[in-house]
Amino acid sequence: MNNMNNMNDMNGRDNAATRPAILQLPQLCLQGALSCFQQACLLVVGGRAPEVEWLRKASEGRIVWAVDHGLDACLAAGIVPQRLIGDGDSATPAAWHFAEKKGIPIEKFPPEKDDTDTQLALRIAKEAGFPATIVTGAFGGRFDHALSTVMSCAFAPLPCLLADEREALFFVHSDETITFTPAKEPKAISLLPFTPRCYGVDLTGTHWPLHGATLEASSMRAVSNVLAAGSRALTVSLQSGLLGVYFVWHE
């Protein structure tokens, strides 16, 4: 009996080891090569602040770092971040003073620097041993700031995804397959190449599927797709390249 129980335990562990990892965010579930995101740091950066309840749910069970003005979003949601990173040029003085008084560890940098606050935070997260980051507060605001954040996350030293209650952007790498199950049907789904070409792109579960497609960054045409009638999930796979999978729920 004991041997049989041990065998059942071993089988259970084997099954768990081979089962695709699942990442749960407030608005959708992801399944695939996502085990690194189970211990991801949540970076709250200084773009459009996520909705308070979304941020509270996204922060559950995660270490939260504020990046400059992202501190204001954290405090508005009643979240005290474990670290504050930035040059202090966008967070409100009251929020920064609260962080100092509260004893939150602060990585403060001079405003005249080469890297953005977000780039510094991504590097520090990597050095701290986090396997991945979830970045929120990345959308909205100035286009140059948003584009810098997106590109910095796409080519960061550790895996990243960007999300809030309105939009989300995930990156699929070579030889990866990820299944997305939205809790609410998105208004649009777009595939965005971040390398000059993405080869062998397969997309199922959408109104316009793809099989073995080549997508080029110079002509981003795989935009504004939707779920197929009766479909509750979509699956994206990629042979080579770096492909962004973008969702929008509210413009």
Region 105-133 average pLDDT: 93
Write the pLDDT tens digit of every residue in 86-100: 987 888 999 999 999
**Is 243 within a domain?**
yes
Residues 6+ apart with CB under 8 A from 44: 50, 55, 64, 65, 66, 67, 70, 71, 73, 74, 79, 81, 136, 137
* 131-149 per-position pLDDT tens digit: 999 999 999 988 999 999 9
DSSP string of 163-227?
A: E-SSEEEEEEETTEEEEEEESS--SEEEEEESSSEEEEEEEESBSS-EEEEEEEGGG----SB-B
pLDDT band for position 19 (cuts 50, 70, 90): low
202 falls within a domain = yes
**10 occurs within a structural domain:** no
115: CATH: 3.40.50.10240
| Cα–Cα distance measured from residue 156 to residue 123, given in angstroms and rounded to the nearest whole number | 8
Q: Is the pLDDT of residue 17 over 60?
A: no
Shortest CA distance to 61 belongs to which of 77, 37, 83?
A: 37
Residue 197 domain boundaries = 166-251
Helix and strand tally (H, E) in the chain? Answer: 6, 15
Per-residue pLDDT tens for 69-82?
Answer: 999 999 999 999 99
Assess if residue 29 is contained within a domain: no
Is residue 6 domain-resident? no
For the residues 177-196, what does the mean pLDDT come to? 97
Strand order of the β-sheet with 160-163 is 106-108, 83-86, 64-67, 41-44, 133-136, 160-163, 167-173, 242-248, 188-193
Query: What's the confidence (pLDDT) of residue 251?
Result: 85
pLDDT at 45 over 50: yes
In a domain, 184, yes or no: yes
Q: Total structural domains in the chain?
A: 2
* pLDDT at residue 10 greater than cutoff 70: no
